[in-house]
């Protein structure tokens, strides 16, 4: 490494040209970056739930929608002006780009029977004068119609909705943005023209838009905060503006390089990779701090710049390479994840870590030779009083420290099984995102964004108009209505019962399924003939009349409860409705619920792989199988403590909870590597005793480990401010992991090294 350092500093011009060409090559990929806000990117094409949902949509049409909820401030939507607004803007909503259907309170196809003829017309007609009598009739009809209440109008009559069904192509970022801009303009016009009305937007398309909004929010808030934190902490530690500028350059270029090569490699950017810049900034600064701390330490011992930098490179090259290598292993292990955006996050951060290593050991040394530096900034010596005290505590109490951790680690690990890996995708965003605020209001006052969809097939040889089929479908709906999570049931059986009642003089006793299949078929045939263009029954039944759509809108329900609800539904069907053929529920809600469990299982393999690779790498690097095995304790224990503490005090994790084990492992290895490398250098090169070697490690790298750990912890805590809740949870858990890692590095690791040395000497 001494030859490398000397050669590097002699070839300054070549290094500068290399760095410039490297950056130009990387940056040329930035225009190729692709962003996606489609929730489907969370599922691989092979995901069985996604495949089932795609088949469902091929049969019944797209379920993506934009819902504009309209609230009457005075609590009554059934007024002349309010109904006129809903009617007029329902017509305008048909102009939404890429829309295929619009449903609302006013264009609801009401049915009447006159002289045995079925009359189908909008609940609020275009030419209606909306007299008090008409409004009273509209209100009575709407609030007593199961197809409307809890879907397009609230039971209290204070909120109504315009629901726009979309027909978007896959990965339709531009098309979604266009549709959302139009819908937002409609909502703003409603409020501007009618101060007594408030509007709220929800649905799958606004949910997709929220993913992009969270990226923008994080870029505007987190990145400046992270840069400020890096500048303050780096200068506070190094007391050198030259070193601070060099470190900031390294982390900045690392981010650019990661995303530039991400563009070249086609890595898709999403709300999950929105955390990557903050993570890269956090990780990249560690390499610079270790290199520069040794550099300034040597300067304070009267060495020239070149001598100090050569020595710093010699001492730090191996640990910096090893920590970068193990961190890359950790993040690349995220490729075991079932969730593509998590794989994209891992690959992007891995690229950033590689770039940080290159810039730290190639560009930064040359930069420090060229930038002007004030002599007084290099004369400050960092007091190691704290490190001396830590060394004294460890040497005096190492057996007690080992016993303490031998008790505390298993004690915390006991609480890991208490962690409930539970997700709630409707609440992936905090209330800084408009979608979250609007969706919370709509959920509380009208309906929900979460739903279970079922494709219900009739038995072979029969059709969906068969009375037994419809009666079992009705019973299935009645069962769901008894479930606490259910908000609304949309079933073909409800429509058939309504038509039967209407064609029997609105006699309530005929609100039943007809006993004759031909009768039900005639009802549906004449009803569909009377429907206007765009409001047909293709979203309720397939063209062959052997499948119908059954949709349950539910409250915000966590993944385990949702899976349990679906399982109870399937069990009920097998026992009570044998003629209904249903594979399982489909839709984004159940897809997100099930992906959490699938991801947890896949990340176990990722964690095992990362542990094995990192341990082997440490054995080879440290040239000791025993020390490589010993490193397992400080590398794994922090994660056990972090999960245990989370299980004790929080108890619940989302899909990123399993990711932390791999991410944290790749990072906390850095502490182990730097401490053990300095310890071994003292033992092997300086022929020091174990006590002296531990003292050397504390005094040469102890403060740097503290500073880098504080920077890392602070950096991941910055993610708490993320608008995307999954990133915020990941930040909290990794920060907790890093905190425990620092404690273990300062106390348990040197105690184990001392015990091992004494065993060898005995």
pLDDT score, position 361:
92
Number of H helices, E strands in the chain: 26, 13
pLDDT score, position 448:
85
List phi, psi (to 5°) of 99.
-95, 155
- H or E segment to which residue 729 belongs: helix 725-746
What pLDDT digit, counting tens, does each position of 154-202 carry? 999 999 999 999 988 777 778 888 999 999 999 999 999 999 999 999 9
What's the sign of the alpha-carbon dihedral 523, 526, 531, 537? positive
Query: Distance (Å, rounded) from C-alpha 130 to C-alpha 162?
Result: 19
**Nearby residues of 562 by Cβ (< 8 Å), 6 or more positions away:** 450, 452, 485, 554, 589, 590, 593
pLDDT score, position 178:
92
> Which part of the chain is CATH 1.20.1640.10?
2-32+208-373+382-426+591-761
pLDDT score, position 148:
92
Q: How far apart are the first and last CA of the chain?
A: 35
pLDDT score, position 377:
45
pLDDT score, position 628:
86
Query: Distance (Å, rounded) from C-alpha 489 to C-alpha 77?
Result: 23
The 3-state DSSP class for residue 635 equals helix
**Fold (topology level) of 2-32+208-373+382-426+591-761:** Multidrug efflux transporter AcrB transmembrane fold (1.20.1640)
What pLDDT digit, counting tens, does each position of 12-49 carry? 889 899 999 999 999 999 999 888 878 888 888 888 88
Residues in the chain where the model's pLDDT stays below 50: 375-382
534 Rama sector, left if φ>0, alpha if ψ -120 to 50, beta otherwise: left
How many CA atoms lie within 13 Å of 83's alpha carbon, on the beta-carbon side? 27
pLDDT score, position 108:
93
pLDDT score, position 564:
92
DSSP strands (E only) in 266-358: 268-269
Q: Contact at 8 Å (CB) between 725 and 699?
A: no
């Amino acid at each position: 490494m001494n030859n490398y350092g000397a050669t590097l500093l002699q070839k300054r011009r070549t290094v500068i040209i290399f760095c410039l060409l490297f950056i130009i090559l990387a940056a040329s990929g930035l225009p190729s970056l692709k962003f996606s806000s489609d929730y489907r990117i969370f599922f691989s094409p092979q995901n069985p739930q996604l495949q089932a949902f795609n088949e469902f949509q091929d049969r019944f049409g797209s379920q993506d929608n934009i819902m504009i909820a309209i609230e009457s401030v005075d609590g009554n939507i059934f007024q002349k002006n309010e109904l006129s607004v809903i009617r007029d803007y329902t017509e305008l909503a048909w102009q939404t780009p890429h829309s295929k259907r619009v449903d609302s309170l006013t264009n609801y196809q009401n049915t009447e029977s006159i002289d045995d003829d079925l009359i189908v017309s909008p609940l609020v007609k275009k030419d209606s004068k909306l007299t008090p009598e008409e409004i009273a009739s509209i209100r009575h009809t709407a609030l007593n119609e199961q197809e409307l209440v809890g879907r397009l109008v609230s039971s209290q009559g204070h909120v109504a909705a315009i629901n726009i069904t979309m027909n978007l192509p896959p990965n339709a970022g531009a098309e979604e943005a266009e549709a959302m801009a139009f819908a937002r303009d409609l909502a703003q016009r409603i409020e501007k023209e009618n101060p007594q009305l408030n509007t709220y937007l929800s649905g799958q398309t606004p949910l997709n838009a929220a993913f992009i909004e969270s990226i923008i929010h994080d870029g505007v808030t987190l990145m400046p905060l992270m840069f400020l934190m890096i500048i303050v902490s780096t200068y506070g530690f190094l007391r050198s503006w030259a070193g601070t500028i060099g470190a900031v350059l390294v982390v900045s270029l690392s981010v650019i390089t990661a995303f530039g090569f991400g563009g070249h490699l086609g890595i898709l950017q999403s709300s999950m990779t929105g955390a990557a810049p903050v993570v890269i900034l956090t990780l990249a600064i560690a390499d610079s701090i270790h290199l520069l701390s040794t550099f300034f330490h040597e300067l304070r011992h009267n060495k020239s710049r070149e001598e100090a930098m050569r020595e710093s490179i010699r001492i730090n090259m191996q640990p910096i390479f090893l920590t970068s290598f193990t961190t890359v292993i950790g993040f690349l292990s995220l490729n075991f994840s079932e969730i593509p955006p998590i794989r994209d996050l891992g690959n992007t951060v891995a690229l950033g870590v590689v770039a940080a290593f290159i810039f730290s050991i190639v560009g930064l040394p040359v930069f420090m030779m060229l930038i002007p530096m004030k002599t007084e900034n290099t004369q400050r010596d960092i007091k190691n009083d704290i490190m001396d005290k830590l060394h004294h505590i460890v040497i005096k109490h190492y057996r007690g420290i080992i016993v303490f951790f031998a008790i505390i680690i298993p004690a915390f690990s006991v609480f890991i099984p208490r962690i409930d890996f539970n997700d709630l995708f409707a609440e992936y965003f905090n209330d800084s995102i408009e979608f979250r605020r609007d969706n919370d209001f709509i959920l509380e006052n009208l309906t929900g964004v979460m739903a279970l969809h079922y494709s219900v097939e009739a038995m072979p040889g029969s059709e969906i108009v068969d009375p037994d089929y419809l009666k079992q479908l009705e019973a299935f709906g009645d069962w769901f209505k008894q479930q606490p999570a259910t908000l609304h049931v949309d079933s073909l059986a409800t429509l058939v019962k309504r038509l039967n009642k209407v064609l029997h003089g609105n006699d309530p006793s005929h609100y039943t399924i007809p006993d004759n299949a031909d009768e039900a078929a005639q009802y549906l045939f004449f009803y569909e003939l009377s429907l206007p263009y765009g409001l047909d029954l293709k979203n309720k039944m397939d063209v062959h009349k052997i499948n119908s759509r059954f949709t349950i809108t539910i409250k915000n329900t966590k993944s385990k409860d949702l899976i349990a609800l679906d399982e109870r539904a399937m069990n009920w069907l097998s026992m009570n409705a044998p003629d209904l053929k249903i594979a399982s529920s489909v839709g984004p809600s159940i897809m997100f619920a099930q992906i959490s469990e699938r991801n947890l299982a896949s990340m176990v393999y990722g964690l095992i792989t990362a542990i094995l690779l990192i341990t082997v790498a440490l054995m080879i690097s440290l040239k000791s199988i025993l020390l490589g095995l010993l490193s397992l304790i400080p590398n794994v224990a922090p994660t056990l403590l972090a999960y245990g503490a989370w299980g004790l005090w929080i108890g619940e994790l989302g899909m990123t909870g399993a990711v932390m084990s791999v991410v944290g492992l790749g990072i906390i290895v850095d502490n182990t590597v730097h401490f053990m490398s300095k310890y071994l250098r003292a033992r092997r090169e300086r022929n020091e005793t174990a006590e002296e070697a531990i003292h050397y490690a504390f005094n040469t790298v102890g403060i740097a480990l503290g500073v880098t750990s504080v920077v890392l912890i602070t950096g991941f805590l910055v993610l708490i401010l993320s608008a995307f809740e999954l990133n915020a949870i990941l930040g909290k858990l990794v920060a907790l992991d890093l905190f425990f890692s620092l404690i273990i590095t300062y106390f348990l690791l040197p105690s184990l090294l001392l015990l091992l040395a004494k065993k060898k000497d005995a």
